[in-house]
Protein backbone atom coordinates (compact mmCIF):
# COMPACT_ATOMS: atom_id res chain seq x y z
CA UNK A 1 0.00 0.00 0.00
CA UNK A 2 1.78 3.13 -1.23
CA UNK A 3 -1.24 5.42 -1.36
CA UNK A 4 -4.20 6.07 0.88
CA UNK A 5 -7.48 7.70 -0.01
CA UNK A 6 -8.53 10.39 2.46
CA UNK A 7 -11.10 8.00 3.97
CA UNK A 8 -8.46 5.26 4.32
CA UNK A 9 -6.11 7.79 5.93
CA UNK A 10 -8.74 8.75 8.54
CA UNK A 11 -9.10 5.08 9.50
CA UNK A 12 -5.34 4.43 9.36
CA UNK A 13 -4.51 7.28 11.75
CA UNK A 14 -6.97 5.82 14.28
CA UNK A 15 -4.96 2.58 14.26
CA UNK A 16 -1.52 4.23 14.05
CA UNK A 17 -1.26 6.89 16.78
CA UNK A 18 2.35 7.80 15.93
CA UNK A 19 1.57 8.46 12.27
CA UNK A 20 3.34 11.53 10.92
CA UNK A 21 1.81 13.92 8.42
CA UNK A 22 4.15 15.71 6.02
CA UNK A 23 2.81 18.59 3.91
CA UNK A 24 5.03 19.31 0.89
CA UNK A 25 3.08 22.26 -0.55
CA UNK A 26 4.56 25.72 -1.03
CA UNK A 27 4.51 28.34 1.73
CA UNK A 28 1.61 30.31 0.25
CA UNK A 29 -0.49 27.13 0.03
CA UNK A 30 0.35 26.18 3.61
CA UNK A 31 -0.65 29.69 4.77
CA UNK A 32 -4.01 29.32 3.05
CA UNK A 33 -4.90 26.06 4.82
CA UNK A 34 -3.24 23.13 6.54
CA UNK A 35 -4.11 20.14 8.67
CA UNK A 36 -3.39 20.38 12.40
CA UNK A 37 -0.28 18.49 13.43
CA UNK A 38 1.26 18.39 9.97
CA UNK A 39 4.92 19.14 9.41
CA UNK A 40 5.56 21.56 6.56
CA UNK A 41 8.58 20.96 4.31
CA UNK A 42 8.06 22.17 0.72
CA UNK A 43 8.97 19.54 -1.88
CA UNK A 44 11.84 21.69 -3.17
CA UNK A 45 13.46 21.60 0.28
CA UNK A 46 12.84 17.95 1.11
CA UNK A 47 16.17 16.56 -0.13
CA UNK A 48 18.04 18.97 2.13
CA UNK A 49 15.70 18.54 5.09
CA UNK A 50 14.72 14.85 5.09
CA UNK A 51 17.04 14.27 8.07
CA UNK A 52 14.42 16.15 10.11
CA UNK A 53 12.12 13.14 9.66
CA UNK A 54 12.29 9.91 11.63
CA UNK A 55 12.71 7.08 9.08
CA UNK A 56 11.29 4.58 11.60
CA UNK A 57 8.00 6.44 11.81
CA UNK A 58 5.09 5.93 9.41
CA UNK A 59 4.43 9.05 7.30
CA UNK A 60 1.54 10.22 5.15
CA UNK A 61 2.62 12.85 2.63
CA UNK A 62 0.12 15.45 1.41
CA UNK A 63 -0.10 18.20 -1.19
CA UNK A 64 -2.90 19.88 -3.11
CA UNK A 65 -3.84 17.07 -5.55
CA UNK A 66 -1.44 14.22 -4.69
CA UNK A 67 1.14 14.66 -7.45
CA UNK A 68 3.92 16.38 -5.51
CA UNK A 69 3.27 14.21 -2.47
CA UNK A 70 3.69 11.08 -4.62
CA UNK A 71 7.11 12.38 -5.72
CA UNK A 72 8.00 13.19 -2.11
CA UNK A 73 6.93 9.73 -0.92
CA UNK A 74 9.07 8.10 -3.63
CA UNK A 75 12.03 10.26 -2.61
CA UNK A 76 11.66 9.24 1.03
CA UNK A 77 11.32 5.55 0.13
CA UNK A 78 14.52 5.82 -1.92
CA UNK A 79 16.23 7.20 1.18
CA UNK A 80 15.23 4.24 3.33
CA UNK A 81 11.87 5.27 4.76
CA UNK A 82 9.91 2.02 4.84
CA UNK A 83 6.43 3.25 5.74
CA UNK A 84 5.54 6.24 3.56
CA UNK A 85 2.13 6.76 2.01
CA UNK A 86 0.81 9.31 -0.44
CA UNK A 87 -2.58 10.89 0.23
CA UNK A 88 -4.20 10.22 -3.14
CA UNK A 89 -6.14 13.20 -4.45
CA UNK A 90 -4.44 15.42 -1.90
CA UNK A 91 -6.09 17.96 0.31
CA UNK A 92 -8.59 18.78 -2.40
CA UNK A 93 -9.99 15.24 -2.24
CA UNK A 94 -9.78 15.32 1.57
CA UNK A 95 -12.06 18.38 1.54
CA UNK A 96 -14.50 16.66 -0.82
CA UNK A 97 -14.55 13.23 0.85
CA UNK A 98 -13.91 13.89 4.54
CA UNK A 99 -14.25 17.52 5.62
CA UNK A 100 -16.36 19.80 3.41
CA UNK A 101 -15.47 22.73 5.70
CA UNK A 102 -11.76 22.39 4.86
CA UNK A 103 -10.77 25.25 2.49
CA UNK A 104 -10.39 24.39 -1.18
CA UNK A 105 -8.44 26.40 -3.71
C-alpha 79/C-alpha 51 separation (Å) is 10
The rounded mean pLDDT for the chain is 96
C-alpha 13/C-alpha 18 separation (Å) is 8
Query: Interior CA angle at 54 toward 53 and 55, to 5°?
Result: 105
Q: What is the per-residue pLDDT across 7-52, written as a single tens digit (0 to 9) for each?
A: 999 999 999 989 999 999 999 999 999 999 999 999 999 999 999 9
C-alpha 103/C-alpha 35 separation (Å) is 10
Answer whether 0.85 is exceeded by the pTM. yes
CATH numbers and ranges of domains, the chain: 3-97 (3.40.250.10)
C-alpha 79/C-alpha 74 separation (Å) is 9
Amino acid sequence: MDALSPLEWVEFRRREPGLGLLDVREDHEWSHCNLPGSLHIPLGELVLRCEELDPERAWVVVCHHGVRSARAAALLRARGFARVYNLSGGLDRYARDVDPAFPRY
